[in-house]
A = this chain, B = another copy of it.
Amino acid sequence: MPQFGKIAIIGAGNVAYTLCKILKSKEIEPYCIFVRNPEKAAKMHEDLGVETVSDYEKVLESDLSIIAVKDDAIADVSEHLLDYKGLVVHTSGTKSSELLNRCMRFGIFYPLQTMSKEREISFDEIPLLIYANSPDDVEMLGRFAKQFSNKVVFCDDEQRKAIHLAAVYVSNFTNVMLGIGDKLLKNNGLTLDLMKPLVMEMIQKLFEISPEKALTGPARRGDFATIEEHVKMLSDNSQEQGIYKMLTNYILENYQKNEKL
């Protein structure tokens, strides 16, 4: 079965960093890392011990190019790969695979995870969403991805966009809810740490039995006295009060009443 021999990574951000580390952890040495900015290239070489290049010569010799640059720069990068014989993939959650369609073989390699240079993450449990414009490349990319993750999922552009939108709710907006909680606690001389057991238990429960079944609280049980008191307590901040009202109404209108706490 054909494998990708030489792998090029394009980019110097969090995703490029993490991909390098993951490849190396599986004893796959990247063939080259393309980094335009000399300072970033030096830093990346120093941190990861990889060879960086600043022109596309070596990239064009590789079998798989992983574009891990900002969404808006993907099209520019692909301009340099028009005659490329290998498979070129990008790592964006939102951008269409068609952005690369002037290359012969193109696809997607999207790790569904938040990445930062400072944090070590293991890829084993992280979903890798893949796509390619030919069945052969889907298979080859799938085999490649399975080296790093137990959860390789074939996704078309539509599905990947839905996943990215869902990720905004489950990750970014969830973060905002915890941020507001943090603020309310700080205003009363308390810290968010206090909430960790509650949050962890709620999240575990929700993944086990479904969000719908795990939902509790004043709105869920139709406890209007508490809702009214909470709205009053939030009268200093119209935005946070607005969020409280909107989400409370959403629960009242979309979830069956539940007597449990």
Residues of A near any B CB (own CB < 8 A):
13-15, 71, 94, 112-116, 119, 121, 125-127, 151, 153, 158-159, 161-163, 165-182, 184-185, 187-190, 192-203, 205-207, 210-212, 214-220, 223, 226, 229-230, 233-234, 239, 242-244, 246-247, 250-251, 253-254, 260-261
List 16 additional contacts besides A127-B194, A167-B217; criterion CB under 8 Å: A112-B197, A114-B198, A119-B201, A119-B205, A126-B198, A162-B233, A163-B190, A166-B185, A170-B199, A171-B199, A171-B217, A172-B217, A176-B211, A176-B215, A182-B212, A193-B207
A174 touches B165 (CB 8 A): no
Distance between Cα atoms of A126 and B198 in the complex (Å): 8
Contact across chains for B114 and A175 when beta carbons are under 8 A apart: no
7 cross-chain CB contacts under 8 A:
A71-B226, A119-B201, A126-B197, A169-B178, A172-B215, A182-B211, A199-B203
Most buried by B among A161, A206, A229, A230: A206
Q: How far is the CA of A139 from the CA of B126 in the complex (A)?
A: 47
Q: Are B239 and A250 touching (Cβ within 8 A)?
A: yes
Cα A247 to Cα B175 in complex, Å, equals: 11
Question: A219: which B residues are within 8 A, CB to CB?
Answer: 168, 172
Given A181-B166, A184-B162, A229-B94, the answer on whether A199 and B176 have CB atoms closer than 8 Å is no
CB pair A173 B207 closer than 8 Å: no
* Chain B nearest CB, measured from A87 CB (Å): 23
